[in-house]
Structure 1
Amino acid sequence: MTDRELQLFRNRLSDLARQCEDRNIATHTHFLTVEEQRLAEQFILNVDGVRVISDGVFCDAERKLLFFLPSYLEEAPEEEIGCFRIEPRAAKFAEALSHRDFLGALMGLGIKREMLGDLAVTENCAQLAALSTVREVLLRELTEVKHTKVRVSEIARDELSAVRRTEIRSINAASLRADVLIAAVWRLSRTQAKESFARGEVFRNGIELENPSAELKAEDFVSLRGKGKFKLCGTEARVTKSGRLYVDIAYYI
């Protein structure tokens, strides 16, 4: 973010907190990236009678809303987030559809990325969380992904909250350097890993990472374009007698 964008973001959070306090109602942000969530932790001011909680529906959600709640509310209003399933109308004749295909179709409707939470794709079907304000657009206008006719249905929140899209893996690596971990996770040579940085294919918390020697921190999300994504777990790395590390990651499957 630029300095101006940071200030606007800070002001928006402050406005939401004040609205909650003054009007005694729940307010919320759009779906925040991991980086925005970290910034929000620094920017949110303590306001009397206002609690702040996050919600992304999925048990391992990356993108989340921040809710500002008045004292009489214990939980975020569930009606603010809709849960949806997108599936081919004729599965037998459907193309192979990827996360990028589904997301591209959604963006093609004019829906901004910040209106959408996480999207999980399994067996050629997608499940996603979205702001309820885009519900009618999704149900009425999303009819095709690539060249495949699809149907959109609203589903129960429980169907998404139970979805786990990651599996825990223990990775043997020499250090927590970004290039070292990327090479270990995707079984690349160090040269191949460094070349991916030069091509602009590595992202940390949604922002391009240019420095291969940058040390990753717990809860960092790292993606390599065309390969996948993982999150560095908060558990402490285990050191072998030879000095190598075993690091736990949550790998997106």
Structure 2
Amino acid sequence: MSIYEHFRREEHSFIDQVLDWKNVVQDEYRSKLSDFLDPRQQNIVSSIIGTSGEVTAAFFGGSETAERKRALLHPDYMVPELDDFEIQAYELEYPAKFVTIDHPQVLGTLMGLGLKREKFGDIIFSGEKIQLTAARETASYIEQQVTSVGKAKVSLRPIGLEELLSAKEPYVEDVVTVSSLRLDTILGEAFRLSRSKVKPFIQSEKTKVNWKVIHDPSFQVEGGDMLSMRGKGRCLLHSVEGQTKKGKYRIVLRFYGKR
């Protein structure tokens, strides 16, 4: 059975990349560090590398609660240290008494630097404090380039990883039944909308599955998928518990932020 059969077609290129990383570690007896990966990508790496071979995968994103993490593939005899993940943490300094900055503004500023999203980890908000993590190789560049967010003048102050705030979001859980595992059906149930109202969101690139835009309303979601809908929020399809006698699916949804 091919390894690709366990994953979606759109994930095959990432699987090829992970296999290349694994070969580098095996052939050259050295570690291989990835960019920041979302949780779905982390699960794929874990599935491919496993826990009993000559190559081991470790993950770290700056703190234990980080969502986006770098993967370090290494020979099984190596014991990785936190510094091996090459992560730089920052706190955003700005006139908090006079301006308000939100997550999309910070992300938009970082993406405007011409770097890939994968070069940045979590963006953490706690009250007026804003922190973020980045790949260390980008540090000098982003420190020079990030001077404003929106209309606010800002600067990035390097901080130690021990100063990072918790990135873990609180959630509420709900058990519901749905007629199918189509994307439009799940989003409709999650955000209390009809499928006809969900469809325009999907077709106008306002919905994501595992941080990637999905255009097909009939896309089949699976347990472990993170779903988001612009302006509505995001939720995790935590698990599919089975089917009822009437053929409906009993699922567990976790909602982050306001529902």
**Structure 1 residue 104 and structure 2 residue 108: aligned?**
yes
Instruction: Provide the secondary structure at the position in 2 that maps to 1:210.
Output: coil
Q: CA separation in 2, counterparts of 1:192 and 1:246?
A: 22
The residue aligned with 2:228 is 223
Q: CA separation in 2, counterparts of 1:76 and 1:218?
A: 32
Q: CA deviation at 1:146?
A: 0.8
What amino acid maps onto 2:216 in structure 1? N
Aligned pair partner of 2:210 in 205, 210, 231: 205
Count of residue pairs the alignment pairs up: 246
Q: CA deviation at 1:144?
A: 0.8
Instruction: Provide the secondary structure at the position in 1 that maps to 2:30.
Output: coil
Q: CA separation in 1, counterparts of 2:163 and 2:72?
A: 22
Is the 1:223–1:229 Cα contact (8 Å) retained in structure 2? Answer: yes
Aligned pair partner of 2:166 in 127, 148, 162: 162
Distance 1:235 1:83, change over 3 A: farther
What amino acid maps onto 2:112 in structure 1? G
Q: CA deviation at 1:223?
A: 1.2
What amino acid maps onto 1:231 in structure 2? L
Q: CA separation in 1, counterparts of 2:243 and 2:91?
A: 40
Question: Deviation digits for residues 201-225 of structure 1, max 9, x if unmatched?
Answer: 2211133323334342111011112
Q: CA separation in 2, counterparts of 1:74 and 1:240?
A: 50
The residue aligned with 2:192 is 187
Instruction: Provide the secondary structure at the position in 2 that maps to 1:111.
Output: coil
The residue aligned with 1:85 is 91
| Superposition map of 1:114-133 within 5 A | 114-133=118-137
Distance 1:112 1:23, change over 3 A: same
Is the 2:88–2:136 Cα contact (8 Å) retained in structure 1? Answer: yes
Q: CA separation in 2, counterparts of 1:71 and 1:179?
A: 43
Q: CA deviation at 1:246?
A: 5.8
Aligned pair partner of 2:80 in 59, 75, 82: 75
The residue aligned with 2:69 is 64
Is the 1:171–1:185 Cα contact (8 Å) retained in structure 2? Answer: no
Is the 1:237–1:248 Cα contact (8 Å) retained in structure 2? Answer: no
Q: CA deviation at 1:48?
A: 5.8
Q: CA separation in 2, counterparts of 1:178 and 1:10?
A: 23
Q: Give unpaired runs (5+ residues) of structure 2.
A: 1-8
Q: CA deviation at 1:147?
A: 0.9
Instruction: Provide the secondary structure at the position in 2 that maps to 1:30.
Output: strand
The residue aligned with 1:16 is 21
Q: CA separation in 2, counterparts of 1:140 and 1:86?
A: 13
CA-based RMSD of the aligned residues comes to: 3.6
Aligned pair partner of 2:117 in 100, 113, 116: 113
Distance 1:181 1:27, change over 3 A: same
Instruction: Provide the secondary structure at the position in 2 that maps to 1:17.
Output: helix
Identity %: 28
